[in-house]
Each structure stands twice: as C-alpha cells, then as structure tokens.
Structure 1
Amino acid sequence: MNHFMSRISRSGILFSLFVSLTFVGCSETGPASGFVQGVVTLDGAPLPNAELAFYPEQGRASQGVTDESGHYSLMFTYDTPGCLPGNHEVMITTRRLESEEQGAMLLPERVPRKYRKRGELTAAVEPGENEINFDLSK
C-alpha cells in the first residue's frame, strides 16, 4: 500500500473512531429534550458539509452536518433528534473522506484549528427549541 492510500485509510479509521465515540462512548444522563438547529458561517459565507459535535458536561454527545446553506440540526442518536440540555463544548470540522469507497480523496479542512478543538466554542442548550448559530472567522 503506498503512502497516500495509507494516509487515507488512517483518516477513515480516525473518523470512524470519532463517530463511534461520539455516539456510543458516553452514557445517557437524561432525555435529549433540547432540539438544536442553526447556521454555521465562515467569514460571513455559509459553511456547507461541516460536521458539528456538541459535548455535554456529562452524557452522550450530539452531532449534526450542515447543508449547502450552512444549516444544521443535531441528532442525539442515529434516529433520535435532539441534544441533552446544559452547557456544551462544540467542535466543528470539514475534514472527511469524500466517500467510503477505497481510494476516496480526503477533502481539505476549511475550519481554522481553534474551532476544531474542544473549549473554543461553547453553547448552552435549553429544553425545547434552540437556535444556535456559529459565525467563524479565519
């Protein structure tokens, strides 16, 4: 296996591990009664295909992906919308494989490093409907 394919395989494995830990790694501490949606922009323009992860102080994280207009909504599990209420650390990234097929290209990261680490972005989620927008800048 050449170096390029090895790098792609490692990236796929790391992404799969990230998703697994996000959805399985924590125990639930209550119902996902906060429903979160919003828009992510980068330097004022919508940021499509960005992956968001909301990490509560305790319990299961929730994830979402932005559409072409930068809009997202969080999922608590694969088929359950929502998020645990409370304070969350938020991570946003665009680095991912373009497909799951062997030989897929790794798409370039567009989100500055500071937003890809826990602690830079935070969000307070209340029970019920929440609109939480992120205006990122380079």
Structure 2
Amino acid sequence: MRAATLILAASMIAATIGCGGDPNVPPLGTVHGKVTLNGQPVDGATVEFIPEGGRPSIGVADANGEYSLLFKADVPGAVIGKHAVRITSQRSRSGGEGDAPLVEARAETIPAKYNDQTTLSVEVTSGDNTHDFSLEGKRSGKASSGA
C-alpha cells in the first residue's frame, strides 16, 4: 500500500510540474515544413516565427528546403498562437575555426515581402503543425552586408 501511495504522489507531482519540463517554457506546438522559391527548395533559408507576444522560434532549411523550429537550443516548437513569419536566405560568413565548417556569405535571394516586409502569418496550435511556404517572385537584389 505504501508503494502505491508513493507512486501516486510521484505521478501527481510529475503531472503538476511536468516531467522534466522547464517552468519558463510556455505551451508550444511542434512546427516543421518546407520552403520553396519558384518551386525550388531554399537550402539554408532561416525561418522565423514571431508571436504577437513572447520569444520567436527559428529553424534553418536543409538542402531539400525542410525545416523544424526550435524555441530554445534544446526545446523544439513555437508558442501557441498567431505568428508573423520571416524567411531569409542572407547570411554572413562564419565558421572555419577548429572543426567548424566554413559557411560563405550569401546575399538575400528571397523577396522582401517574405522577410523585411513580411506578409506571411500562421497560427500555431497544440501538437504537430506543418507549415509549408511556396514563395514566388523575383530573387531580391539586396546586397550582402558581409557582417
């Protein structure tokens, strides 16, 4: 009987505080999808979900244009609710030290209406969310700052 009571108490505590959950992390939904520009995957695109209030979530697309968002370095997902979405391809040169691969700088190739002047918005719900972005338009002519 005592063992059953201890198990019940432990279960109640875990349910109250979450199993290893961070009390500073709000309710999240997992988010993944694919980014294409004129039908082609955008390798290395940065996808940022910016909630109306709170911390943004960020992901980077792979060679197939597929991304998954992270709320924090080790916490996947995005805050539940409405988000503005910014998608960029511009990046500064980085890496090359030690084992870090060298990543060359790249000018922005995605039209401003999807990043600096974004018109994209989505709703993140509890559970699994798939948000694909089929972007269209001329590649941006914005020069890289190299910073």
TM-score (norm 2): 0.68
- Paired position in structure 2 for 1:7: none
Gaps of 5+ in 2: 1-22, 98-102, 138-147
CA-atom RMSD, angstroms?
A: 2.3
- Paired position in structure 2 for 1:57: 52
- Paired position in structure 2 for 1:89: 84
Q: Deviations over 1:11-39 (max 9, x none)?
A: xxxxxxxxxxxxxxxxx985242000000
Q: Partner letter of residue 48 of structure 1?
A: D
Contact between 1:87 and 1:125, CA under 8 Å: does it hold in 2?
yes
- The 3 A distance-change label for structure 1 pair 118 and 61 is farther
Distance 1:70 1:47 in 2: 5
Greater RCO (Cα-Cα under 8 Å, separation 6 or more): 1
Identical amino acids, percent of aligned pairs = 40
Contact between 1:29 and 1:60, CA under 8 Å: does it hold in 2?
no
Distance 1:108 1:45 in 2: 17
Number of equivalences? 111
- Paired position in structure 1 for 2:105: 106
Deviation of 1:105 after TM superposition, in Å, equals: 4.6
- More helix by proportion, 1 or 2? 1
- Paired position in structure 2 for 1:3: none
- The 3 A distance-change label for structure 1 pair 119 and 46 is closer
Distance 1:98 1:45 in 2: 23
Contact between 1:90 and 1:118, CA under 8 Å: does it hold in 2?
no
TM-score (norm 1): 0.73
- Paired position in structure 2 for 1:71: 66
